[in-house]
Amino acid sequence: MVKVRMNTADVAAEVKCLKRLIGMRCSNVYDISPKTYMFKLLNSSGITESGESEKVLLLMESGVRLHTTAYVRDKSNTPSGFTLKLRKHIRTRRLEDVRQLGYDRIIVFQFGLGANAHYVILELYAQGNIILTDSEYMIMTLLRSHRDDNKGFAIMSRHRYPIEICRVFERTTVSKLQESLTAFVLKDHDAKQIEPKEQNGGKKGGKSNDSTGAKQYTLKNILGDALGYGPQLSEHIILDAGLVPTTKLSEDKKLDDNEIQLLVQAVIVFEDWLEDIINGQKVPEGYILMQKQILANDTTSESGGVKKVTILLYASSFLYCLMAMDFMY
């Protein structure tokens, strides 16, 4: 299937690759759609073979993606108010820093220094957002306003962007993983205790409106909740451990000590890579998988009667541990 979202590892790798843009100046900003914006960056000291200044097009799509591109997209004839605000504050400013907040899918671009600095913050989770703040992280304009009263913050104009609430990267310990599996067992036990009561006290026929007792726990779901990396990366880690992501676990069926150890080793391998990307000097390699689809037209041509064939190439979502997945499925 076509990749539609960037996960934590994608964001960390892309941010490390984009650090090469530090020092370039923002030449202009264009809106491609209400959620997609293109930033034109120039490096006057970098001369191309044609003798022109080096130019990079950086594409940001709220909640979806972030990458450079060589494809020039159709731009809106009339810039939106959001685009004009971005142009006013960051055009001609130099890009001083690109970083990921913790290991959340939030990327911060710093244009300018000191009191004259402005930040463009891209959120790639949930519905997404693109936010412009001043040097104190006070929000000047944004695509979408929202608030979370339970966590005590509001993403709104004239409010400070809460950069301190990001999830800080911490290594997963054996005890943390075992605690997560233990918590799951207790949850499953409670669900089994609730289910008979609901059936006895439910409507005629013994049916219950609450589906808590019928919930299925898979290794992929449990690990995803424990680590917070999302379902794709959880599946990658499980496959790397030689286990099956769709394995159903319950109070009666748990992982043995050997399987837990394999899982711990796979988590260590992934977090070694992630920590090296976030804090180290490693620049990851990129891969694009293309799927080829051949469409044949049954109509024949007048000249030779040869069937017309159309070949479509489209980018596919990267499947981690492809050999392991092919072996299992």
Whether residue 315 contacts residue 2, with contact meaning beta carbons closer than 8 Å, is answered with yes
Range of the domain at 35: 8-165
Q: Are residues 195 and 257 in the same domain?
A: yes
Which H or E run includes 134? none
The answer to whether position 35 is within a domain reads yes
pLDDT for 289 equals 61
Task: Pick the closest to residue 34 from 4, 72, 68, 60 (CA basis).
Answer: 60
The torsion angles phi and psi of 138, rounded to 5 degrees, stand at -80, 130
Say whether both 61 and 105 belong to one domain: yes
329: tokens are 């499925």
Tokens 């920590």, residue? 275
For residue 311, is it within any domain?
yes
Q: What is the pLDDT of residue 190?
A: 55
What pLDDT, on the 0 to 100 scale, is given for residue 284?
81
Q: Is 74 left (phi over 0), alpha (psi -120 to 50) or beta?
A: beta
Contact 102, 169 (CB under 8 A): yes
Same domain, 88 and 189: no
| Amino acid code (one letter) for 154 | A
Residues 95 and 112: their CA atoms lie apart, in Å, by: 7
**Residue 60, in any domain of the structure:** yes
pTM value?
0.78
Residue 168 confidence (pLDDT): 86
pLDDT digit string, tens, across residues 49-80: 666 778 999 999 999 999 999 988 888 789 99
Write down the pLDDT at residue 207: 47
Cβ atoms of 248 and 216 closer than 8 Å? yes
Distance between CA 196 and CA 209 in Å, rounded? Answer: 13
Say whether both 40 and 124 belong to one domain. yes
Count of domains for the chain: 3
| 219 in the same domain as 298 | no
Q: Helix (H) and strand (E) counts for the chain?
A: 7, 15
Report residues of the chain scoring pLDDT below 50.
Answer: 189, 204-214, 314-316, 318-319, 322-329
Cβ atoms of 184 and 217 closer than 8 Å: yes
Residue 2 lies in a domain: no
Same domain? 308 vs 272: no
User: What is the structure's pLDDT at 106?
Assistant: 95
| Domain identity same for 293 and 316 | yes
Burial class (CB in 10 A: 0-12, 13-18, 19+), 251: middle
Q: Angle, to 10 degrees, between the axis of helix 174-201 and the axis of helix 219-227? A: 120
pLDDT at 254 (0 to 100) = 80
Report pLDDT for 60. 96
Helix boundaries (H) for 101-251: 174-201, 219-227, 231-240
Phi, psi of 200 (to 5 degrees): -75, -35
Q: Which residues 6+ apart lie within 8 Å of 84 measured at CB?
A: none
> Is the Cα dihedral 112, 113, 117, 119 positive or negative?
positive
Residue 1 included in any domain: no
270 and 210 in a single domain? The answer is: yes
Backbone angles phi, psi at 13, to 5 degrees: -65, -40
Provide the b/e sequence for 56-92 (b: ≥16 CB within 10 Å).
Answer: bbbbbbbbbbbeeeeeeeeeeeebeebbebbeebbee
Last residue within a domain, chosen from 146, 165, 184 = 165
